[in-house]
């Protein structure tokens, strides 16, 4: 894969290569010193989901895990996306705390500083301390902004697991006498080959020196892929891979700030309501599994706040072009989503007061005790103890 393709896919790539080892060492010490500090995990229902299929009375059956967790946390019935209703701009608004109006398809970095940059610069956090794991393959540049004084050197590592899987499947499909896609071993072999030989294609941004991939990272990723491919159910979902990669990142690197973007539910564009519902339920299950991992992982238990929200809604059934298939109408079904806060520092309750997507970064900053200037959003004051 050509470098320019890689850069297009993964965005961040050079931070570690251009920084001197002494600075990396300092970062490591700072990370160690703050190892007992608060951690924040942002989970987005990417692709967009409507209230009617989630926290409405008739939607609760699609999200049994979140419905059960809701009493344990603080629930905002309304969290508004007042910005551009594209995937990239929606999530970029969440992570920057300012409404973003950059390229809809990820060809530009967010214009405002991300929470990752505020966090890493403000707390002198190391490169392993902020991660983005995204199913949406256009999120390569989600980890840092185009701000000159921040940007790449302070950004998050961005991992695009689905792109890795896509590349493996594509390669197998293209072989003249190809191994069949039903052969899990074949896909696994191909994935490992990509990791060992062509890491540039996987959306992985952790490098030690030059073009050598961090061995630790490679082992962790390979293990996650093996579990994914050989899991008890035939894996069909990019989000399942995103979950496994996220879990490995948590177990191996225990970052303090992590964005997990699930995206299977964007299958709604295909016009299959049943597949859309299945994806919602899968995301609910995977989000529940992430919460279970937090509880089971000593590095996270009792010190982690998880903020869960859809990046946008989808068009309502009435008076729009084609209901759940799309998400650009700007109607209330598109803009009004919800937010569930769980874990450390979060009180229990529920409110009608609308939150905004731009308030999420400010809330995360407050949780992490990071000073973040220039945010339009305000911390979600109701959730704090």
Residues binding another protein (CB under 8 A): 5, 8, 82, 84, 86, 89, 99, 101-105, 107, 162, 165-166, 169-170, 173, 180-182, 187, 234-236, 238, 269-275, 277-278, 317-319, 322-326, 328, 330
CB 8 → another protein: shortest distance, Å?
8
CB 292 → another protein: shortest distance, Å?
25
CB 96 → another protein: shortest distance, Å?
15
Residue nearer to another protein on the CB measure, 16 or 242: 242
Residue nearer to another protein on the CB measure, 58 or 302: 58
Residue nearer to another protein on the CB measure, 35 or 107: 107
CB 102 → another protein: shortest distance, Å?
8
The single residue listed with the structure tokens 């009435």 is 318
CB 46 → another protein: shortest distance, Å?
16
CB 243 → another protein: shortest distance, Å?
16
Residue nearer to another protein on the CB measure, 124 or 269: 269
Residue nearer to another protein on the CB measure, 145 or 304: 145
CB 181 → another protein: shortest distance, Å?
4
Residue nearer to another protein on the CB measure, 86 or 114: 86
CB 107 → another protein: shortest distance, Å?
6
Residue nearer to another protein on the CB measure, 11 or 255: 11
Residue nearer to another protein on the CB measure, 122 or 330: 330
Q: Three-state SS across the chain?
A: CCHHHHHHHHCCCCHHHHCCHHHHHHHHHHHHHCCCCCEEEEEEECCCCCHHHCCCCCCHHHCHHHHHHHHHCEEEEEEECCCCCCHHHHHHHHHHCCCCCCCCCCCCCCCCCCHHHHHHHHHCCCCCCEEEEECCCCCCCCCCCCCCCCCHHHCCEEECHHHHHHHHHHHHHHCCCCCCCCCHHHHHHHHHHHHHHCHHHCCCCCEEECCEECHHHHHHHHHHHHHHHCCCCCCCCHHHHHHHHHHHHHHHHCCCEEEEEECHHHHHHHCCHHHHHHHHHHHHHHHHHHHHHHHHCCCCCCCEEEEEEECCCCCCCCCCCCHHHCCCCCCHHHHEEEEEEEECCECCEEECCCEECHHHHHHHHHHHCCCCCCCCCCCCHHHEC
């Amino acid at each position: 894969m050509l470098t320019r393709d890689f850069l297009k896919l993964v965005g961040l790539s050079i931070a570690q290569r251009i920084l001197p080892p002494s600075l990396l060492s300092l970062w490591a010490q700072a990370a160690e010193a703050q190892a007992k500090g608060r951690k924040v995990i942002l989970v987005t229902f990417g692709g967009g989901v409507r209230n009617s299929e989630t926290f409405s009375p008739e939607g609760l059956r699609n999200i049994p895990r979140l419905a059960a967790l809701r009493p344990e946390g603080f629930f905002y019935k309304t969290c508004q996306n007042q910005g551009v209703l594209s995937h990239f701009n929606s999530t970029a608004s969440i992570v920057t705390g300012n409404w973003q109006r950059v390229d809809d398809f990820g060809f530009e970095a967010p214009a405002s500083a991300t929470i990752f940059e505020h966090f890493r610069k403000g707390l002198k956090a190391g490169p392993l301390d902020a991660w983005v794991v995204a199913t949406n393959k256009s999120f390569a540049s989600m980890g840092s902004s185009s701000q000159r004084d921040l940007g790449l050197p302070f950004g998050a590592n961005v991992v695009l697991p689905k792109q890795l899987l896509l590349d493996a499947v594509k390669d197998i499909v293209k072989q003249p006498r190809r191994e069949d896609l039903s052969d899990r071993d074949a896909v696994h072999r191909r994935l490992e080959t990509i990791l060992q030989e062509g890491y540039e294609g996987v959306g992985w941004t952790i490098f030690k020196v030059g073009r050598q991939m961090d061995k630790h990272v490679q082992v962790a990723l390979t293990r996650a892929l093996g579990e994914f491919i050989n899991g008890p159910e035939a894996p069909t979902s990019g989000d399942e891979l995103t979950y496994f990669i996220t879990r490995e990142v948590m177990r191996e690197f225990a970052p303090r700030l992590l964005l997990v973007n699930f995206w299977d539910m964007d299958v709604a564009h295909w016009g299959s309501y049943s597949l859309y519902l299945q994806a919602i339920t899968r995301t609910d299950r995977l989000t529940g599994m992430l919460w279970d991992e937090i509880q089971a992982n000593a590095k996270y238990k009792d010190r982690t706040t998880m903020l869960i929200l859809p990046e946008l809604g989808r068009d309502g059934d009435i008076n729009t072009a084609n209901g759940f298939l799309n998400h650009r109408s700007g109607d209330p079904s598109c803009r009004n989503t919800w937010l569930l806060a769980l874990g450390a520092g979060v009180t229990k309750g529920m409110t009608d007061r609308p939150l905004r997507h731009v308030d999420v970064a400010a809330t995360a900053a407050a949780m992490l005790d990071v000073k973040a200037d220039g945010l339009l959003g305000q911390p979600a004051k109701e959730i704090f103890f």
